Structure 1
Amino acid sequence: MDPLEDVLTLVETRGHLSTSLAAGGRWAVRFEPPQGVKFNAVRRGSCLLEVDGVGGPIALAEGDCYLLTGPRSFTLRSDLETSPVPAGPLFARAEDGVARAGLGDDVFLVGGRFSFGARAQELLLDRLPPVVHVPAATPHAETVRWALTAIDEELTRGQPAAGLVAEHLAVVMLVHVLRLHLARDPDTASGWLAGLSDPAVAAALTSLHREPARAWTVAELARAAAVSRSTLAVRFKTSVGQGPLEYLTRWRIELAARQLRQGSATLAMIARSVGYGSESALSVAFKRVMGTSPGDYRRQQAGPSSPLRGTPS
C-alpha cells in the first residue's frame, strides 16, 4: 500500500451523502460547523462560498467542488448582499432529497461528508488547509465529475446496495481531490502529506509503508529513493518534520494502536507484526509516542464509540 492509501484506511474513511441543494434568484444559506470533512460539488450554475476565518468569498462555478476540513461555519450564496437563512429549517423541509432556497433551480449542489476514526485529526486533517477548492478545469477534476455522475446514477436507478456503492464512490472522489491538492499546493500540506510531493521522500515513505516491520536503515531507504543517505535525511526531515526512522517508529505505533482498538491479539503478537522483537520493546516505544501504555490504551478505547451523525447538505 502507498502512504495515502494506508492513512485513509487506517483512519477508517467513510463517505456519507446528504441532501442536495437547489437554488435560484437571490439566496443565501448559512450552515453550522460540520462534523467530519464536508464536501459540496456544483452540478449546475454558480455561487459563492464563504467560510468563517478564511479570507474572502470563493467563487464556485459549474463542475467545481470543495472540501471543508475543519468545524467552521460557512455560507453558500448567490451574492454578497442577501441575508442568509439558517440551513437547519431549510433542509428539514427538503423533498425527494432536495432542499430549496430562493426562487428557481438554476443552481444545484450535491454534498455530503467524510467521517473518520480516532486518529484522523492528527494523521490527516491537521495536515490540510481549512478549504480545498477544486476548480472544474484542473487535473483530477474529470475523475471527480465521473465519480459524482456515477453517484447520481446509483441513487436515481435504485439498484441494490446503491447507497453503499455511492458512499464508496465518494471516497474515490476524496482520493482524487487530495491528489490534486498535493500536486497543486504542496506548500500548504505538512508532515507525511507534504513528503508525498518530494519524489525521493515519497519513495522512502512508500517503502516504509510497504514493509513497516522490516528493520530499515536510512541507507537502505536512500537506495530505494535513488539519492544519497545525507540527501534523503535532509529532505525527509525538511518535508515531513522528522527523520525517516522516527517516522517509521510512529507509523508502527499507529499500526499497533489500530490492532489494540479493533482486536484481541496479544501484545506479543502485535509487537511481532509491527517489527518489535518483544512486548517490552513495543511498550517502551508505544508509551513514548502515545503517552500511555498499550494496556491502558486498549482499556481506554474499549468504551462505546459515538459515530458521527449526518448533517444537512
Structure 2
Amino acid sequence: MSLDTLSDVLRSVRLRGAVFFYVSGSSDWAAEAPAARDIAPLLMPGTEHVMEYHAVVQGTCWAGVVGHAPVQMAAGDVVMFPHGDPHVVSSAPGLRGSVDVRWYDSVRSQSLPLHIAYDGASLQLVEDAAPESEATIVCGFLGYDRQPFNPLIAALPRMLHLRAGEHGAWIARFTEQAAAESHARRPGADAMLARMSEMMFVDAVRRYADGLPAQSAGWLAGLRDRFVGRALALMHEAPAQDWNLDELGRRIGLSRSALHERFVQMIGVPPMQYLAQWRMQAAARMLLETRSTVAAIALDVGYESEAAFARAFKRMVGKPPATWRRERDTTP
C-alpha cells in the first residue's frame, strides 16, 4: 500500500506537544498529577485530550498510575500516560503527593517552562532546578483529538515505559535536549520542544507496536497483520470509495466471511463500521483545516448527500457538522 496508515491517523488527530515543567526532587519527594481531563482546559485550551510524559534527566525515580504498581526509572528513561490517568512520580514506590487542580490554573500565565523543586512534601517554584536534587525530570504534555474517531489511543496501554538502553540513542538525546532547552529558555524553545515531543510519541508508539506478541489483537496489531493491515490501508487511502466486503476481500485475497471474522477479531468492529467511523474522522479534519462546504466534504468522504452525512456525523459526535465546526472556530 502506498499509504502509511499510522501516519494518516496521527495527522488526522492533530497531535500537538508542549513542555511545561522542569522538575527536581529531593528528600522522599512525590509529585502527583490529576486526571488529564481536569487540567487539559488549563494547559492546552481547545485540545480534547492531553497525555502527560516524564523524561528523567538525572538520578532515579518511580512512576505509575495511581492504584497500580509503579516502574523504576533511570536517567534517559521516558514514561507516558496515553489515557490521561492520575499518576505519581516519586523517589520511592508507595509515596503519594497532593493534588490541587487550581495550582495549574495559577501558574499557566507564568513564563514556561516552569522550574519546580519538590523537597519532601513541599513544592516551590525556583529560578533554576535545585543543584542538590536527587532526580531531575522534564515533564511535558501531548494533546490530540479524541473525536470523532481515534483508533490509536484505545490501542495503547495506560502507561508506556521507554527505557533508554532498549531504544538506542534517540531517547537519551531527547532527554538531554529537552533538559537543555528547558533550562536555557532560548528563543524558539517552545516550538522545538513541541516537535521533539511529537516525534518521541510517534517513536514510542512504533516501538510498542513492534514489541506486541504475535497473537495480539487491537488496532496496532491489525496494522501488522497481512490481511487486516492491507484492508485498513485501502480504506484509509480511499475512504470515499464505495467499499464493500466483497471488493475489500477481492483486493486483499480473502473471502468476505474470512475478512469479516479476521477484522472483527483484531480491530473489534466490522470493516464497514470502521470505514464509517474513519470517514467521520477524515471529515472532521476537513471541517477544521479547510473552508470547504459541508456538502463538498460529504462528497469527499463518500456520502451522496449532505443530509445523510450530517445525520451520520451527529450520531457519532453529538452535533451537526456545521455547528461542530463553528464551535471549534471560536475555541481559544
Whether these two folds match at TM > 0.5 is: yes
Asked if 1:56 corresponds to 2:69, the answer is yes
Tell me whether 1:76 sits opposite 2:103 in the alignment: no
Contact 1:19 1:94 in 2 (8 A): no
- Give the corresponding residue for 2:57: 43
Name the Cα RMSD after superposition.
3.6
Query: Which string of whole-angstrom CA distances, capped at 9 and with x for unpartnered residues, describes residues 8-31 of structure 1?
Result: 222221101022122345322333
In structure 1, the residue matched to 2:190 is: 163
Task: Report the CA distance shift for 1:283/1:26 in structure 2 as closer, same or farther (over 3 A).
Answer: closer
In the alignment, the residues of structure 1 paired with residue 170 and residue 69 of structure 2 have an alpha-carbon distance, to the nearest angstrom, of 28
Q: Which amino acid aligns with 2:280?
A: I
Larger mean Cα displacement after TM superposition, 119-128 or 175-184: 119-128
- Aligned equivalent of 2:117: 100
Give the alignment of 1:247-266 within 5 angstroms.
247-266=274-293
Could you tell me how far apart the structure 2 residues matched to 1:187 and 1:10 are? 28
Contact 1:128 1:190 in 2 (8 A): no
Indicate how the Cα distance of structure 1 residues 190 and 40 shifts in structure 2: closer, same or farther if over 3 A, else same: farther
Report the alpha carbon displacement of residue 39 of structure 1 after superposing the two structures with TM: 0.1
* 3-state SS of paired residue (2:240): coil
Cα deviation, 1:250-293, whole Å, max 9, x if unaligned, reads: 21122223333454422321122112333244345434544554
Aligned partners of 2:245 and 2:272 also within 8 Å: yes
Letter in 2 for 1:98: H
Q: What percent of counterpart residues are identical?
A: 29
Aligned residue number for residue 231 of structure 1:
258
Matches within 5 A, 1:282-293: 282-293=309-320
Q: Single out whichever of 40-49 and 76-85 deviates more from structure 2.
A: 76-85
- CA deviation digits over 1:31-67, x for unaligned, max 9? 33343100001122211124213x2222222222111
5+ residue gaps, structure 2, are: 41-49, 120-129
Q: Structure 2: how far apart are the matches of 1:203 and 1:42?
A: 38
* Counterparts of 2:112 and 2:282, CA distance in 1: 44
Match of 2:162 in 1: 134
Give the unaligned 5+ runs of structure 1. 307-313
- Determine the structure 2 residue equivalent to 1:270: 297
Aligned equivalent of 1:244: 271
* Contact 1:39–1:113 (CA under 8 A) maintained in structure 2: yes
Of residues 173, 189, 200 in structure 2, which corresponds to 1:146?
Answer: 173
Aligned mates of 2:144, 2:54 — CA distance in 1: 18
Displacement, 1:297?
4.0
Normalised to the residue count of structure 1, the TM-score between the two structures is: 0.79
What is the Cα deviation at residue 173 of structure 1? Answer: 0.2
The amino acid of 1:5's aligned partner reads S
Secondary structure of residue in 2 paired with 1:145: helix
2:217–2:265: 8 Å Cα contact kept in structure 1?
A: no
* Alignment partner, residue 14 of structure 1: 16
Match of 2:147 among 119, 123, 128: 119
